[in-house]
Amino acid sequence: MTGVHPAWLPAEAFRAVGSRRVAVHGDGLLVDTVRAEVAAAGSSSSSPHDLVLSIGSSGSLGDEGFALSRADGVTTVVANAPAGLLYGFFHVVRLGEAAFGADRPVEVHRPALRRRIVDHWDNVDLHPAIGQVERGYAGGSLFWERGALRVDLSRVRDYARLLAACGINAVAVNNVNVHRSEAHLLTDRLGEVAAIAAELRPYGIRTHLSVNFASPILLGGLTTADPLDPAVRRWWAATTRQVYETIPDFGGYVVKADSEGQPGPFAYGRSHADGANMLADALAPHGGVVHWRAFVYNHRQDWRDRSTDRARAAYDHFAPLDGQFRDNAILQVKHGPMDFQTREPVSPVIAAMPGTRLAVELQATQEYTGQQRHVCYLAPMWSEVLRFRPNGDGRPAVATLAQTGGLVAVSNAGDDRFWTGHPLAQANLYAFGRLAWAPDADPPAILDEWIGLTFPDAPPQLRQTLHAMMDDSWRTYERYTAPLGVGFMVRPGHHYGPDVDGYEYTPWGTYHFADRDGVGVDRTRATGTGFTGQYPQPWADVYESLDTCPDELLLFFHHVPYGHVLHNGSTVIQHIYDTHFAGADEAARMRDLWSSVGHLVGSDVDARVRERLDEQVRSAAEWRDQINTYFYRKSGVPDVKGRRIY
């Protein structure tokens, strides 16, 4: 087989629906999509019907909810609006034969979060250092090729279908680092965005665009981009009006400002609320929103300056602005205070802005988690984040706080024939959509759904083996790369593979401060950067104290001697050795497990997974040896088990 892999929508996944008599009632583009799906599945429309999907006014299902029931041999899906019918249809597909078995009382399904977005970091052009898709590990862009919009966009339609089937309803099409050619997507290249939107629309996906804050200068011939300048405001208002004339259901803008070299309001002495509100005002008449990113920090730091702490930056910049943002301005916050590391605490910004709409940003593309060469199922990490209660027990979880703005994932998909490079990385995109719909869903259960849809004929052995490989794979990856909350021990630039001091003395603010006596960043209020003070109670005290700080975050919050004893009874240095040996062994075990089931998934998937597992095993051993050797040489403390350390 050589075509594009169908991911979680192979024809076999529609067998149960396809063998039934189905009626679809209602009008609208998305209802037509459901009709087309039903027809493509091979269903008959003759009566009596086994499945009836209809738009009805009863109940309060909202735009996207649906009610499912089964009685008297008929399965019924009712929605109040077309999008709900589409999600209901895909739910029936997910259930398969189970949708047509015993009677079911009415179940109501509604998404917990209204905005469920993937952000692409796609560029129109190839960039020498980063390729076409920034931090992309799945080939080129699905939208652009060789500097131009793809001539054939049918794969974008297939992508929209995959996204809708896991509940995603918006896509930001281009990189938040908006370079020169990409800036033009807002004006003279807007037709390209409209063409992409036309492919996404039938599956209920709204299109958003990343824009350059300096667009009035870059595109409008103005001499300033000052957000309070009347000419600048007029330019944005007029430009945005044109966007909506071309794409009436356009979702809005995404902005990375004053971050890693991108322009922003600081150049004019204005605040980020001034910047975001200017765009919000331009979008408001059309019902659009601006997603304004909180990823703002000083990337020209001196490692000797212990008073500057990158983890503090987003809170320091944004918490004082709480309450100043417009209703249609959404502050988009990375889930952790640093930058998508394998292990971070939840960002304190999420608790600090009750008067601001917040979206939480996750990273499906595996920049720091194995770059889609390593198996790393991220749903357990995301689930921990979403369930975390920043203000303590009995107070709202992150998922609830994010209801005002939504959940966003940086996409891991590209023009690779398996969509995500590593075929098993598809599960991360699927899981993101499902968690955005139901944040309390169980990660292994979501994985089980993905397995069932992707490999509909999977015998129990395949299902069990995929769980054995993937359920705990994030923690396995953590074991061999990121002990006790240390991050960034990666090779600079591309961020793949180990380099313990690769970022240690650079200006990026990414330090572990290992010396001969100890390791970790002192972020306490008592003796460190004071970052723990950005958390409300109980976390401010939990993280401050060595007695209560969770082991897995110890070195994120504290600098301790190598002999410090963890809650699990091990010393820090012995824990580093033990986890790195164990993690590399687990990677090798994953490969062994796969070798007994690979033949069950088709030779092309098998070949790709094998190739990736070989690399994972090699890389995990390299991580083990580099990290263990580094810390052995720094500390001089031998491994109590006498294993080989160089």
Which residues does the annotation mark as catalytic? 260, 339, 367
Q: Under the criterion CB under 6 A, does residue 135 sit at the interface with ligand GCV?
A: yes
Task: State in angstroms the smallest separation of the CB of 139 from ligand GCV.
Answer: 17
Task: State in angstroms the smallest separation of the CB of 367 from ligand GCV.
Answer: 6
| Residue 177 or 403 with smaller CB distance to ligand GCV | 177
> Which residues are CB-neighbours of 11 under 8 A, at least 6 positions away?
none
> Which residues sit opposite 361 in a β-bridge?
334, 408
Task: State in angstroms the smallest separation of the CB of 508 from ligand GCV.
Answer: 8
E-state strands within 345-445: 357-363, 406-410
> Which residues are CB-neighbours of 211 under 8 A, at least 6 positions away?
178, 183, 186, 253, 254, 255, 279
| Residue 256 or 523 with smaller CB distance to ligand GCV | 256
**Closest to 412 (Cα-Cα) out of 367, 450, 454:** 367
> Which residues sit opposite 333 in a β-bridge?
360
The contact mask relative to ligand GCV for 532-571 (x = CB under 6 A, - = no) is: ----------------------------------------
> Which residues sit opposite 397 in a β-bridge?
none
CB distance 519 to 562 below 8 Å: yes
CB distance 593 to 469 below 8 Å: yes
What is the DSSP annotation of 18-30?
A: HTSBEEEE--SHH
Task: State in angstroms the smallest separation of the CB of 488 from ligand GCV.
Answer: 11
Residue type, 342: T
User: Site size for ligand GCV, by CB under 6 A?
Assistant: 10
Task: State in angstroms the smallest separation of the CB of 346 from ligand GCV.
Answer: 17
For the chain, the residue count is 646
What is the DSSP annotation of 539-580?
A: HHHHHH-TTTS-GGGHHHH--EETTPBPTTS-BHHHHHHHHH
Q: What whole-number distance in Å separates Cα of residue 415 and Cα of residue 496?
A: 21
| Residue 367 or 416 with smaller CB distance to ligand GCV | 367
Residue 536 gets which letter from DSSP?
P
Task: State in angstroms the smallest separation of the CB of 309 from ligand GCV.
Answer: 17
Other C-beta atoms closer than 10 Å to the C-beta of 100 total: 18
Residues 173-212 that bind ligand GCV (CB under 6 A): 175-177
| Residue 134 or 309 with smaller CB distance to ligand GCV | 134
| Residue 367 or 544 with smaller CB distance to ligand GCV | 367
Match 């390791």 to its residue by tokens: 519
Evaluate the omega torsion of the peptide bond into residue 380 and state whether it is cis, within 30 degrees of 0: no
Residues 295-334 that bind ligand GCV (CB under 6 A): 295
Angle between helix axes 154-165 and 190-200 (nearest 10 degrees) is 50
Task: State in angstroms the smallest separation of the CB of 297 from ligand GCV.
Answer: 9
Q: What whole-number distance in Å separates Cα of residue 448 and Cα of residue 215?
A: 45
Give the binding range for ligand GCV (CB under 6 A) out of 169-177, 234-242, 393-401, 618-626.
Answer: 169-177
CB distance 64 to 87 below 8 Å: yes
| Residue 50 or 339 with smaller CB distance to ligand GCV | 339
| Residue 87 or 340 with smaller CB distance to ligand GCV | 340
| Residue 226 or 339 with smaller CB distance to ligand GCV | 339
| Residue 158 or 367 with smaller CB distance to ligand GCV | 367
State how far the alpha carbon of 411 is from the alpha carbons of 138, 420, 432, 578, in Å.
10, 9, 10, 33
Q: Under the criterion CB under 6 A, does residue 292 sit at the interface with ligand GCV?
A: no
> Which residues are CB-neighbours of 376 under 8 A, at least 6 positions away?
366, 369, 370, 425, 428, 473, 474, 476, 477
- SS3 string of 186-218? HCCCHHHHHHHHHHHHHHCCEEEEECCCCHHHH
The contact mask relative to ligand GCV for 335-354 (x = CB under 6 A, - = no) is: ----x---------------
| Residue 333 or 458 with smaller CB distance to ligand GCV | 333
Task: State in angstroms the smallest separation of the CB of 443 from ligand GCV.
Answer: 24
Task: State in angstroms the smallest separation of the CB of 275 from ligand GCV.
Answer: 16
Give the binding range for ligand GCV (CB under 6 A) out of 14-22, 56-64, 172-180, 418-426.
Answer: 172-180
Residues 250-289 that bind ligand GCV (CB under 6 A): 256
> Which residues are CB-neighbours of 591 under 8 A, at least 6 positions away?
610, 613, 614, 616, 617
Q: Under the criterion CB under 6 A, does residue 134 sit at the interface with ligand GCV?
A: yes
Task: State in angstroms the smallest separation of the CB of 401 from ligand GCV.
Answer: 20
H/E element, 628: helix 603-635
Residue type, 511: Y
Can you tell me which of 8, 87, 90, 121 binds ligand GCV, judged by CB under 6 A? 121
Residues 357-396 that bind ligand GCV (CB under 6 A): 367
The contact mask relative to ligand GCV for 620-639 (x = CB under 6 A, - = no) is: --------------------
> Which residues are CB-neighbours of 51 under 8 A, at least 6 positions away?
17, 20, 21, 22, 23, 43, 74, 75, 76, 77, 92, 99, 100
Task: State in angstroms the smallest separation of the CB of 487 from ligand GCV.
Answer: 12
Pairing relation of β-strands 518-519 and 206-210? unpaired
| Residue 299 or 634 with smaller CB distance to ligand GCV | 299
Q: Which residues bind ligand GCV (CB under 6 A)?
A: 121, 134-135, 175-177, 256, 295, 339, 367
